[in-house]
Structure 1
Amino acid sequence: MMQILHFFNVLLLVTAHQPFMKFGMLEKPPMFMRKNSTVAGDNLYDGIWIDMIEWLSQHLNFKYEIIFVNNVLGRPQTLNGSGVWSGASGRLLRGDFDVLGPPVLMSFARNRVFHSVGVVEDEPSALLTPALTEMSSILSSIKPFQPMVWLLILISLLSAAICFAASSPSNEDRPFWYKRLIFSRIGNYVFYTVAILTNQGPVFALRKFQSKLPFRLTAGVWCLFACVMVNVYSSTLTSHITARKMSTPPTGGIQVMEEGVLSYLVIDDSFGREIILGATTGKLKKLGDLFRRHPENFVPDQETGFRKVATGCCAFSDFVSYFNYRIGKDFQETGKCRVHIGKPVKGYGFTGLLIRKDNNYRDAINQGILDLYQTGLVDYWRKKQAGRGYPVCQAQSKKKSKVLRSLNLRQDLVTAFFILGIGISTSFIVFLAEQCRRCKCR
């Protein structure tokens, strides 16, 4: 009995000396976020750092309280002749909480007044654009019109007509100047070869006397060449009609700005805004000029940026982990993949929790975070928060870009009749030209 009482006394003594820490947390999904619930309790928040703080409290034996703060990180300001910090950074200096997280980007100004703990390399970011759309069937049939193919056919047509005109004997009934101008007969042979290609029959009767080269042999060689070229083109055209052709997303914010099709959004935090608007040279200056003309492209938070991109009007850059989480959540809500993530870009900064310089637990928290990363739990929590929607959307995007689709009669027959109309129009023009020529000859 005495041993049990001694054990409880020791336990109470240890509990009484447990340090108590306050964590001020900015909303930054999937690192930290509020749950959509009004029920008071211990589960008001969710995210990777909720699990990390709980693990650290057990590993380092401390109690904690989570204080939700607004998303204004703060910056140095001058007030009454002295330097102060605004936003959450100012609250940290005043002692409203001991640690500020999730990890924020390190800067020289912050390092002068704060210590950074749990410093890791900045995670990769990517460009978020509206979902890739399948190009319409008419556009997919027009784009394969390779200029080189039709240029070669035109050159061969003129070459055959010139060859016919050069090889045919002079007509003694014509004036001298007509016999000397070889180009006067080229038009006749152009009509003839085009008529053969369009199956309209000969435009004019062949001369009774024999030419230097077999006329039909030369025309047949040209028709064979044109037939091969057209068949090659037709196979290319068929693949463009039957295969899925997805729109090509931009590769970066600068390309979005130069194309001008989408509006480029930036979160309105003090750090990014000052860099963009303060640039005086290079591409950042162009981006700053664009934001000065359109200040509405500064968005207050990540959620606003994502919702605008999902409507199809804008592009937005942020961390890949947030996009993975948000796409998964959006897929669960709507059942659609409304956005597309570009190629991840490696980060070139470092992030860490902010702690006051007079805090004595800096080394302990650093060691605890290092031990936590070595367990592999952080990667597990990240995959858990990403949700199932992001892998599904990625798989659908790859499948659409590789697999042939079945022809849609309502849409794809429009393309077929469009191409048929081109052929009929060409034949009709040749027929009218033939009739006009006959009328002039009479």
Structure 2
Amino acid sequence: MKGYMALVFCAAALTACIITTDAKEISITTIKEDPYAMSRGSELEGYCIDLISTLAKNLGLTYKVHLVKDGRYGAVDSSGNWSGMIGEVMRGEADLAVAPLTLTAAREHVVDMTTPYMQTGIGFILHKDLASEENTFSLLSPFSTDMWVGILIAFLLTGLCIFLVGRISPTEWSEPDTEEHSFTLLHSFWYITGALTLQGAGPHPKALSGRLVSAIWWLFAVLLLACYFSNFSSTLHSNNKHVSIKSFEDLANQDLIDYGTVEGGSTMAFFKHSNNPVYRRIYEQMERKKSYASSMEEGVRLALERNYAFIGEAVSLDLAAARYCKLIRSQEVVAMRAYAIAAPRGSPLVKSLSIAILQLSESGELTYLRNKWWASSCIGAADANNSHALQPHDLRSLFLLLGLGLGVGLLLALLELIFKARNQAKDGKKSCCSVLTSELNRRFGSGGESAEQDCSDKSKA
């Protein structure tokens, strides 16, 4: 009986111990990196913070988060000691490390890691100018596509306006029945083409309206050509015109721009231990120039401010490209890898966390968190054009001037015709309307006499 009571007492004590252990507040280490963990006042927010909260709620855990003391992910030094979050987990300073922590063989050897919660790879970001290919149609690069469309519309409207003014103005075409019209539709377009090339093509307009339209188009052409050649010259003298970086092999085969990764991270270790000759050259170049970045933030800043390609985890680089429109991530992604949560060897939390992560993946919660924190918010989108091509709004006043000139020219041509019709109506004692209609029919089609006769018959009736 006493033995049975002692057994019950031991079982109760063990149960209480387990409950107490389960209710113990666990310590979680993380690293400050956008958007995984960011400061918001005295608190932290981000993808990993939301992930911790969701996992803890599903597993009934209480926790406390702190930032890793040395600001590193975790790498082993020459004496075999681990730094960063991995080191804190190994020394018992943290129960879990929840961060963009790459799952590697070296880390798996010293800590336990859960099922990955995010898949990624190694890529690089750089300024869009450095990633652009040589443009086969470089003669078109000073103007944007919208600008070229605007110029084509302006060309067609001006040619049509010259044609209409040449037909409407009595000074330009005084006797439609006997004289040949100089400004046919073909000659009108040929005339403004000559003006656009600063050559000219006769005959020239004689009427005030035609001369006004011609002068406005010449002014438009001269200013447009000045803008074109100015921008074309700056494009030719760009320092980056011979650089086009698309892949890691392109990086390794050039010396015009520097490149690097976060010092002491898993990406650096990948290039250091790779047997691929291209990746080895990249590592040797980084070692020779000491072109490493101390953090992800510094790498992004260097890519924005200098001729620099920052190599890192593709998922983190996607965020930088979404935030800064001047940057672009390489299409090539190598060494596919994954992010996971680290725990001490033999931790009972690993199995529960792995199952919970799989459930979040199946329910779409991980996808929701990814979309939430990787939303695009291009900073400086107005300056993001990689070719610096002129846009229509840059020459808005020039197009407005041309439109105003065409409108005034047409109005003057109509006034000239109305004035002539009025004088003829007085001399012939006819209505101004009938004379004007007859003139328009003679200039734009046949049947002027019949129209005039119909108007006369109606007047007599």
In the alignment, which residue of structure 2 is the partner of 1:151? none
2:23 is aligned with what amino acid? Answer: Q
One-letter amino acid of the counterpart of residue 106, structure 1:
L
8 Å CA contact retained: 1:268, 1:299: yes
Give the structure 2 partner of residue 111 of structure 1: 108
Query: Does the Cα contact within 8 Å between 2:47 and 2:373 map onto a contact in 1?
Result: yes
- Tell me the distance in 2 between the aligned counterparts of 1:95 and 1:315: 37
* 1:322 and 2:316 aligned: yes
Report the counterpart of residue 53 of structure 2 in structure 1. 54
CA pair 52-135 structure 1, distance change in 2 beyond 3 A: closer
> Aligned residue for 1:76?
76
Unpaired runs of 5+ residues, structure 1, are 1-13, 144-236, 331-336, 410-442
Q: What is aligned with 1:101?
A: 98
Separation in 2, partners of 1:110, 1:136: 43
Q: SS at the partner of 2:129?
A: coil
Aligned-residue identity in percent = 16
Gaps of 5+ in 2: 1-18, 142-227, 396-461
Distance in 1 (alpha carbons) for counterparts of 2:369 and 2:278: 38
Could you say what secondary structure the match of 2:94 adopts?
coil
For 1:71, the aligned partner's letter is: G
Q: Deviations over 1:225-275 (max 9, x none)?
A: xxxxxxxxxxxx99x98xx99978511233123232221121112544444
Select the residue among 365, 369, 373 that pairs with 1:385: 373
Distance 1:106 1:135, change over 3 A: closer
1:288 aligned residue: 283
- Residues 1:18 and 2:23 aligned together: yes
Deviation of 1:100 (Å)? 1.1
Structure 2 residue 119 is matched with structure 1 residue 122: yes
Number of equivalences = 285
CA distance in 2, matches of 1:287, 1:135: 22
Relative to its length, the structure with more strand (as a share) is 1
TM score, norm. by length of structure 1: 0.54
Could you tell me whether the CA contact under 8 Å between 2:267 and 2:312 is conserved in 1? no
Deviations 1:49-89 (A, max 9, x none): 1111111111111101101104323333465xxx5433332
Contact 2:128–2:327 (Cα < 8 Å) also in 1: yes
Cα distance, 1:126 vs structure 2: 3.4
- Structure 1: how far apart are the matches of 2:94 and 2:66? 8
Which residue identity lines up with residue 86 of structure 2 in the other structure? S
Deviations 1:396-416 (A, max 9, x none): 76xx89x9955978xxxxxxx
Q: One-letter code of the match for 1:98?
A: D
**Structure 1 residue aligned with 2:192:** none
In structure 2, relative to structure 1, the CA distance for the partners of 1:343 and 1:130 (3 Å cut) is same
Cα deviation for residue 108 of structure 1 reads: 2.4
Cα distance in 2 for partners of 1:135, 1:341 equals: 15
Partner of 1:348, secondary structure, is strand
Q: Retained in 2: the 8 A contact 1:30–1:321?
A: no
Deviation at 1:305, TM superposition (A): 0.6
Question: Structure 1: how far apart are the matches of 2:272 and 2:22?
Answer: 50
User: Which deviates further from its counterpart, 53-62 or 386-395?
Assistant: 386-395
Secondary structure at the residue paired with 1:66? Answer: strand
Letter in 2 for 1:368: A
Aligned-partner Cα distance in 2 for 1:52–1:121: 11
SS at 2:253 equivalent:
helix
Give the residue type in structure 2 aligned to 1:254. E
- Label 1:342 to 1:363 Cα distance change in 2 as closer, same or farther (>3 A): same
Q: Name the residue aligned to 2:86.
A: 89
CA distance in 1 between counterparts of 2:134 and 2:327 reads 19
| Candidates 254, 257, 267, aligned match of 1:259 | 254
CA offset at residue 141 of structure 1?
3.4
TM-score of the pair, normalised by structure 2:
0.52
Task: Name the CA shift for 1:135/1:290 in 2 (closer, same or farther; >3 Å).
Answer: closer
Check if 1:356 corresponds to 2:355: no
When residues 21 and 387 of structure 1 are mapped into structure 2, their CA distance, relative to the original with a 3 A threshold, is same
The structural deviation recorded for 1:327 is 4.3
Alignment equivalent of 2:360, drawn from 356, 360, 372: 372
